[in-house]
């Protein structure tokens, strides 16, 4: 079996190399007689998917059949590992995850090559770029990180087992989502580079690219937040984001990808920012590869990183080749990227997109800067420094607040120029509503049941929290006002109820209203983040009947129990939760000892409500007294984050669904040059 | 000119500075509060990459003793002295964020510099583009036309059912 897997990877490499070279030759000749070569390159690309799929399937079968002759299976699986985690073995280690990466990339390539009739020339160019990227990963798999390498010596009776931190249902979903996001950015990159190389006439490529980017962005969003959810429910420190280098690596392409999804509208609507958009896509792809390099090279310290290895050099070389290719084609064809229009006013949709892009890029730069600063400090000062959560929070919170403000005002600004009357009409009520909310939070005394006692003069984090909530409400109200205004018009014409009219409205322009729903999701997430300013925690040794008070809750230790299965043994605390003189719940925090790995792991338990999470961790036992130690966290508004993510997913899906009807409105001709005379779908481009 | 709540605009910066100073100074002398604050400015040195007060690494050989040291030092030293004591014992990586001295100051300056330069660049680009714009040069849109445009946009929305 391992030999077959290795052969499949070698064949996959040969096919990818052929797909790249033959495609390249055919495209440079650009004559009908070379068409056969172009078609053979496309088919070789499709065949490479079959070979990589076969290799991945062999590795999964090896995990299920406990083939510990393969070093990778020995290190990442064991006999008693539950079946879903055996499947997850494929992406649990360096070599397997690179194989998984290659599989997903060839899967994206398969879809692209099967859909080549959309635009054969453009897709042929994109196919060549994808084949080049695929060749790099298959070179790694064949020569630097071999998943089918045989372990020397006699075959072991059992494996070392999967890392206990990864034995959690979400770990079966989180990496594939994250990888679909990371790898998916190869496709927009391939289209952008291909379109630039061939001097693609028109903007069709940007429509195709935007759709692919949105799908990819959706996956990456899910992947990042599934990771945050996993960290919260598994790592047991009570938080969901620690600004770890590996977390940062996933955030950077997300930030530039989000910037692109906004600025691409300027290219579609006004033919502007063509160079900027191309470079945003290039940067997003390079940041995806750079993130992979960070995770796998050992250049930065991270609890999430794979073992340190030599493949970092491969990634540096690959990044160099990508950067040179991008610069070469840009310099060669930059005249093709001239803008059709100029920006006319600072108070316009265009400039709001510029500021939006600026904020996303500054946030990305800050994350990159903070992640790499320890390395820089080591080079220049001769010693490393730590750049942790306090730095990122302090620097990024003002940037995020500025972004939230733009999220509120940007969508309501008109293209080209916004008048004062329009500003007043669109913003008066949302602004008053947001300020009223802020005032309410300020003046409500804690004795009235004010959830947080929001007193910004007590702490800078309270001030940020108040600003976040006020700006989030502003975002929510501006989005709501857009839905209500449009819904009322439709309701007036059709006689439908307002909610039904709003649904109809969203279906008529899915991209615009899907985008608004994504903004609502962002608003909910930001409110969730704001809650972290009011986190509390308590730690106590607790024997039977002992009590621990935190916030409105009193925890009473009922008893302790033990559980044992072939995979792990667990100590479990049984904790009663009391509130207002009555018992409202029982929670069971655990401390597990995994047999194969010989590692201990806390498994927290969470009682989640809209207002707050009660989060309990079985920290261990005091070696002197033998008493168990329980740590309780009270984390306000965390549920809002997960609800916000679901809202973002719904918005993204809606934005991908085609409109039910295209509406067109022509602006009267008498305005002459003051407005565009080209008919445009109303609202479809904004 | 006055702003919200009838505060003269020229006094706003002074008021803001007062609020920020109060924010920083409140509770500065309270030991448990200082332990909580300083414990979030220090890292556990066991390679778990976690903030000292958040380290839940099972069997961590450092965090328990480091927390005891923190409580002891807070009783003896001011905030700066506590942090210096930890740096002297565990090295500069014990600080969760770079100090604002020497080369490390660059870590804090660059993000804000990037933001300010970016904003400046956008304003400059907009001004250059506006100056070059043939439409604007030949016939600027008057405020009356601008308001007319808004009306037409609104009318177009209504007629199109949006």
Asked whether the beta carbons of residue B49 and residue A373 sit closer than 8 angstroms, the reply is no
Neighboring chain B residues of A355 at a CB cutoff of 8 Å: 119, 122
The pLDDT, as a whole number, for residue A293 is 86
Asked whether the beta carbons of residue A386 and residue B108 sit closer than 8 angstroms, the reply is no
Residue finishing a domain among A162, A187, A220: A162
Which candidate in A252, A341, A349, A385 is best for mutational testing of the B interface (most B CBs within 10 A)?
A385
Query: A664-665 and A680-681: which strand pairing?
Result: antiparallel
- Higher local confidence (pLDDT), A220 or A36: A220
Residue A670 lies in a domain: no
Distance CA A401, CA A464 (A): 8
Q: What percent of chain A has pLDDT over 70?
A: 91
Asked whether the beta carbons of residue A388 and residue B96 sit closer than 8 angstroms, the reply is yes
Domain count, chain A: 2
Neighboring chain B residues of A390 at a CB cutoff of 8 Å: 40-41, 96-97
Which candidate in B24, B40, B58, B112 is best for mutational testing of the A interface (most A CBs within 10 A)?
B58
SS3 of A127-148: the string is: HHHHHHHHHHHHHHHHHHCCCC
If you count them, how many residues does chain A have?
686
The string of DSSP letters for A522-555 reads HHHHHHHHHGGGG-EEEEEE--TT-EEEETTEEE
The pLDDT, as a whole number, for residue A666 is 44
The pLDDT, as a whole number, for residue B154 is 64
- Higher local confidence (pLDDT), B113 or A681: B113
Distance CA A205, CA A567 (A): 51
Residue A565 lies in a domain: yes
Average pLDDT over residues A602-610: 91
The tokens for A177 are 């989502």
pLDDT tens figures, A243-269: 888 889 999 999 999 999 998 888 877
Which strand (E) or helix (H) includes residue A587? strand A582-587
Strand partners, A586: A576
Q: Closest partner residue to A362 among B59, B114, B159, by Cβ? A: B114
Which residue on chain B is closest to A234 by alpha carbon? B56
pLDDT tens figures, A41-81: 999 999 999 999 999 999 999 999 998 999 999 988 888 88
Q: Could you tell me which of A479, A464, A475, A469 has the C-alpha nearest to residue A399?
A: A464
SS3 of A641-661: the string is: HHHHHHHHHHHHHHHHCCCCC
Give the global pTM. Answer: 0.85
Neighboring chain A residues of B95 at a CB cutoff of 8 Å: 385-386
Interface confidence, given as ipTM, is: 0.78
Average pLDDT over residues A652-675: 61
The pLDDT, as a whole number, for residue A137 is 94
How far is the CA of A268 from the CAs of A1, A273, A401, in angstroms? 51, 10, 28
Task: Say yes or no to pLDDT of A452 above 90.
Answer: no
Which candidate in A234, A390, A624, A683 is best for mutational testing of the B interface (most B CBs within 10 A)?
A390
The pLDDT, as a whole number, for residue B3 is 40
Residue A145 lies in a domain: yes
Q: Closest partner residue to B93 among A244, A384, A599, by Cβ? A: A384
Asked whether the beta carbons of residue B98 and residue A386 sit closer than 8 angstroms, the reply is yes
Asked whether the beta carbons of residue B118 and residue A244 sit closer than 8 angstroms, the reply is no
Of A26-35, A342-351, A482-491, A515-524, the range with the lowest mean pLDDT is A342-351
Asked whether the beta carbons of residue A303 and residue B49 sit closer than 8 angstroms, the reply is yes
Asked whether the beta carbons of residue A385 and residue B92 sit closer than 8 angstroms, the reply is yes
Which strand (E) or helix (H) includes residue B30? none
Q: Closest partner residue to B56 among A237, A490, A682, by Cβ? A: A237
- Higher local confidence (pLDDT), A365 or A568: A365
Of A5-9, A441-445, A667-671, the range with the lowest mean pLDDT is A667-671
Instruction: Give the minimum alpha-carbon distance from A156 to chain B in angstroms, rounded to a whole number.
Output: 29
Q: Closest partner residue to A674 among B130, B149, B159, by Cβ? A: B149
The pLDDT, as a whole number, for residue A665 is 46
Asked whether the beta carbons of residue A343 and residue B104 sit closer than 8 angstroms, the reply is no
Distance CA A325, CA A303 (A): 34
The pLDDT, as a whole number, for residue B151 is 65
Distance CA A106, CA A122 (A): 18
The pLDDT, as a whole number, for residue A54 is 95
Residue finishing a domain among A162, A182, A200: A162
Q: Could you tell me which of A163, A192, A151 has the C-alpha nearest to residue A76?
A: A163
Residue finishing a domain among A133, A162, A191: A162
Q: List the domain range (segments joined by +) for residue A119.
A: 1-162
The pLDDT, as a whole number, for residue A685 is 38
Residue A541 lies in a domain: yes
Asked whether the beta carbons of residue A354 and residue B126 sit closer than 8 angstroms, the reply is yes
The pLDDT, as a whole number, for residue B147 is 62
Note whether B48 and A386 are within 8 A (CB).
Answer: no
Which residue on chain B is closest to A392 by alpha carbon? B97
A348 contacts: CB under 8 Å, gap ≥ 6 = A413, A414, A415, A416, A417, A418
Q: Could you tell me which of A518, A476, A468 has the C-alpha nearest to residue A221?
A: A518
- Higher local confidence (pLDDT), B24 or A230: A230
pLDDT tens figures, B65-91: 898 899 999 888 888 899 999 999 998
Q: What are the residue ranges in chain B where pLDDT is below 70?
A: 1-29, 58-59, 132-162
Label residues A609-642 b or e (16+ Cβ within 10 Å = b): eeebbbbbbbbbeeeeeeebbbbbbbbbbbbbbb
Of A49-63, A155-169, A446-460, B18-32, the range with the lowest mean pLDDT is B18-32
The pLDDT, as a whole number, for residue A671 is 41
Of A189-203, A585-599, B134-148, the range with the lowest mean pLDDT is B134-148
Task: Say yes or no to pLDDT of A18 above 90.
Answer: yes
Instruction: Give the minimum alpha-carbon distance from B11 to chain A in angstroms, rounded to a whole number.
Output: 18
The tokens for A467 are 């600003």
Residue A491 lies in a domain: no
- Higher local confidence (pLDDT), A108 or B33: A108
Asked whether the beta carbons of residue A493 and residue B23 sit closer than 8 angstroms, the reply is no
Residue A62 lies in a domain: yes
The tokens for A46 are 């499709």
Band of residue A307 on the pLDDT scale cut at 50, 70, 90: low
Residue A47 lies in a domain: yes
The tokens for A259 are 């910037």
Q: What percent of chain A has pLDDT over 90?
A: 42
- Higher local confidence (pLDDT), A288 or A409: A288
Residue A626 lies in a domain: yes
Label residues A373-399 b or e (16+ Cβ within 10 Å = b): bbebbeeeeeebbbbbbbbbbebbbeb
Burial zone of A372 (CB within 10 Å; 0-12 exposed, 13-18 middle, 19+ buried)? middle
Which residue on chain B is closest to A385 by alpha carbon? B93
Burial zone of B138 (CB within 10 Å; 0-12 exposed, 13-18 middle, 19+ buried)? exposed
Q: Which span out of A30-34, A446-450, A469-473, B127-131 was modeled with the highest average pLDDT?
A: A469-473
Which candidate in B34, B57, B107 is best for mutational testing of the A interface (most A CBs within 10 A)?
B107
């Amino acid at each position: 079996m391992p030999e077959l897997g290795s052969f499949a990877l070698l064949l996959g490499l040969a096919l990818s190399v052929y797909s790249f070279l033959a495609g390249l030759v055919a495209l440079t000749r650009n004559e009908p007689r070379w068409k056969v070569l172009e078609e053979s390159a496309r088919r070789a690309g499709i065949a490479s998917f079959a070979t990589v799929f076969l290799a991945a399937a062999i590795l999964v079968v090896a995990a299920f059949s406990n083939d510990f002759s393969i070093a990778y299976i020995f290190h990442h699986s064991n006999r008693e590992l539950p079946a879903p985690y055996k499947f997850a073995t494929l992406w649990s280690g360096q070599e397997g995850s690179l194989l998984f990466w290659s599989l997903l990339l060839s899967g994206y390539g398969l879809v692209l090559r099967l859909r080549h009739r959309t635009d054969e020339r453009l897709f042929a160019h994109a196919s060549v770029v994808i084949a080049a990227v695929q060749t790099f990963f298959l070179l790694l798999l064949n020569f630097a990180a071999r998943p089918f390498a045989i372990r020397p010596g006699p075959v072991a009776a059992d494996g070392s087992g999967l890392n206990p931190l990864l034995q959690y249902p979400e770990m079966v979903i989180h990496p594939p989502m994250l990888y679909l996001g990371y790898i998916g950015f190869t496709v927009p990159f391939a289209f952008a580079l291909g379109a630039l190389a061939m001097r693609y006439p028109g903007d069709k490529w940007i429509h195709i690219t935007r759709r692919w980017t949105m799908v990819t962005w959706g996956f990456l969003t899910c992947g990042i937040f599934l990771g945050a959810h996993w960290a919260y429910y598994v790592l047991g420190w009570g938080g969901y984001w620690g600004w770890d280098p590996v977390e940062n690596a996933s955030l950077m392409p997300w930030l530039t990808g989000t910037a692109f999804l906004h600025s691409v509208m300027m290219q579609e609507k006004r033919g502007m920012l063509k160079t900027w958009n191309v470079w945003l896509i290039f940067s997003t792809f390079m940041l995806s590869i750079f993130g992979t390099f960070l995770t796998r090279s050992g250049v930065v310290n991270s609890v999430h990183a794979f073992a340190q290895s030599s493949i970092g050099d491969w990634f540096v070389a690959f990044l160099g080749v990508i950067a040179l290719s991008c610069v070469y084609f840009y310099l060669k064809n930059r005249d093709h990227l001239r803008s059709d229009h100029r920006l006319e006013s600072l108070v316009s949709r265009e400039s709001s997109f510029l500021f939006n892009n600026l904020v996303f890029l500054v946030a990305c730069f800050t994350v990159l800067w903070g992640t790499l600063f320890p390395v820089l400090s080591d080079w220049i000062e001769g010693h490393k420094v730590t750049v942790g959560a306090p730095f990122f929070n302090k620097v990024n919170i003002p940037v995020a607040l500025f972004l939230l403000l733009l999220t509120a005002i940007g969508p309501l600004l008109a293209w080209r120029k916004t008048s004062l009357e329009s500003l007043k009409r669109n913003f008066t009520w949302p602004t008053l509503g947001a300020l009223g909310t802020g005032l309410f939070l300020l003046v409500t005394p804690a004795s009235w049941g004010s959830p947080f006692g929001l007193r910004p003069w007590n702490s800078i984090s309270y001030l940020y929290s108040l600003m976040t909530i006020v700006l989030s409400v502003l975002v929510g109200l501006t989005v709501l006002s857009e839905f209500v205004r449009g819904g009322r018009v439709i309701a007036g014409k059709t006689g439908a109820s307002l909610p039904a009219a709003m649904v109809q409205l969203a279906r008529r322009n899915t991209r615009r209203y899907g985008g608004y729903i994504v903004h609502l999701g962002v608003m909910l997430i930001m409110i969730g983040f704001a809650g972290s300013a009011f986190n509390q925690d308590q730690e106590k040794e607790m024997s039977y009947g002992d009590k621990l008070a935190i916030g409105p809750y009193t925890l009473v230790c009922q008893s302790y129990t033990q559980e044992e299965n072939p995979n792990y043994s667990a100590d479990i605390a049984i904790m009663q939760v009391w509130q207002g003189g009555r018992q409202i719940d029982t929670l069971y925090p655990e401390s597990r000892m995994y047999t194969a790995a010989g590692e201990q792991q806390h498994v927290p338990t969470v009682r989640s409500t809209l207002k707050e999470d009660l989060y309990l961790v079985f920290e261990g036992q005091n070696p002197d007294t033998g008493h168990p130690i329980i740590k309780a966290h009270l984390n306000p508004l965390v549920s809002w984050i997960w609800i916000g993510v679901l809202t973002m997913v719904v918005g993204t899906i809606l934005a991908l669904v085609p409109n039910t009807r295209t509406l067109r409105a022509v602006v009267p001709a008498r305005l002459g040059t003051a407005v565009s005379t080209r008919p445009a779908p109303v609202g479809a481009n904004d | 000119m006055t702003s919200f709540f009838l505060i003269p605009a020229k006094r706003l910066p002074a008021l803001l500075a007062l609020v920020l100073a109060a924010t920083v100074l409140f509770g500065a002398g309270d030991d448990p509060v200082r332990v909580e604050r300083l414990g979030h400015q220090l890292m556990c040195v066991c390679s778990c990459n976690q903030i000292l007060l958040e380290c839940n690494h099972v069997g961590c050989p450092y965090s328990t003793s480091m927390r005891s040291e923190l409580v002891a030092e807070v009783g003896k030293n001011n905030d700066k002295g506590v942090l210096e004591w930890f740096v002297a014992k565990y090295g500069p990586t014990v600080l969760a964020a770079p100090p604002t001295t020497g080369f490390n100051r660059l870590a804090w300056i660059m993000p804000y510099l990037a933001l300010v330069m970016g904003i400046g660049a956008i304003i400059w680009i907009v001004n250059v583009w506006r100056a070059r714009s043939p439409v604007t040069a030949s016939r600027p849109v008057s405020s009356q036309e601008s308001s007319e445009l808004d009306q037409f946009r609104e009318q177009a929305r209504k007629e199109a059912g949006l």
